[in-house]
Amino acid sequence: MKHTALLMLMLLIGQPAMADDNGPAVDLAALLPPPPAAGSPAARQDLQGVLAVQAHRTPAEIAAAQADRLHSVFRYADVFGAVFTPARLPHTAAFFARVVAYDKGEVKAVKAFWHHPRPVLVSHAVHPLSQEQPDDWSYPSGHSTLGYTEAVLLANMVPERRAAIFARADRYAQHRIVMGVHYPSDVAAGRLAGTVLGGRLLDDPAWQADYAAARAELRKALAQPAAPTVAAAR
């Protein structure tokens, strides 16, 4: 009954119905290296990385980092152009909303496993640009994980723009350090985690139909052929 009601609601608001599946469970705690131990040389170097970025962040970088606080694939609009909007790409919007929910669940579990404190809790010299939830731990960076999960999926949908997609993912992740809410090690772990999660979703049969619909919609909007050439896929 609940599933039927959800489908009806999605139809009423004009969004394509998505498959009812949470995605493949991934034990990220078993795959990622541990964060730097408190008080270790690596931890001190990690903190210095935050402080160095803080000391040189410009108003433009701050504005860009604050804009990238949004958990949305449409932060990639600067790669794809004006066509890349939820209104024009409803299948893409629905697919990546599902990706966001999946990513958050996987990252929440590994963050709870490590209980790694954010930079501001370690040093009063850190001046973050936002206040994060007290129970939202630092390792790995959730934004970075999501950015790279999305990058893996987008790069497989539109391999013609693979380099630009991953460059944008790098900026999205780096902005978490600019915000002063994550260490470089958090961002590096997010890149690993996102790559793993994106790859798992590409291989999961339960996600294939929704992925294919989003891919076809996006390629059509970008005036790309239905399937990329072999050269573009490399």
Q: Please tell me the chain's helix, strand, coil percentages from 3-state DSSP, rounded to the nearest 5.
A: 65, 0, 35
Euclidean distance between CA atoms 181 and 144, whole angstroms: 12
Residue 22 counted as domain residue: no
What string of DSSP letters covers 135-156?
T---SS-HHHHHHHHHHHHHHH
CA quadruple 179, 182, 186, 187: dihedral, nearest 10: 10
**pLDDT given for residue 22 in this prediction:** 77
* 27 domain residue, yes or no: no
> Which residue is listed with tokens 């024009």?
88
- Section 71-92 average pLDDT: 97
Task: Assess if residue 29 is contained within a domain.
Answer: no
Q: Tell me the per-residue pLDDT of 23-74, one tens digit each, with 9 for 90 and over.
A: 899 999 999 999 999 999 999 999 999 999 999 999 999 999 999 999 999 9
Give residue 23's pLDDT. Answer: 83
Classify the phi-psi angles of 81: left when phi > 0, otherwise alpha if psi is within -120 to 50, otherwise beta.
left
181 is a domain residue? yes
- What pTM did the predictor assign? 0.89
12 inside domain? no
Domain count, the chain: 1
**Does 227 fall in a domain?**
yes
**Dist. CA 153–CA 140, nearest whole Å:** 20
Q: How confident is the model at residue 233, as a pLDDT?
A: 58
Instruction: Judge whether 158 and 165 are in contact, CB under 8 Å.
Output: yes
Calpha distance 69→107 (Å, rounded): 16
> What is the rounded CA–CA span in Å between residue 138 and residue 118?
5
CATH number at residue 73: 1.20.144.10
Q: Which domain holds residue 178?
A: 49-233
The answer to whether residue 35 is domain-embedded is no
Q: Please report whether residue 90 resides in a domain.
A: yes
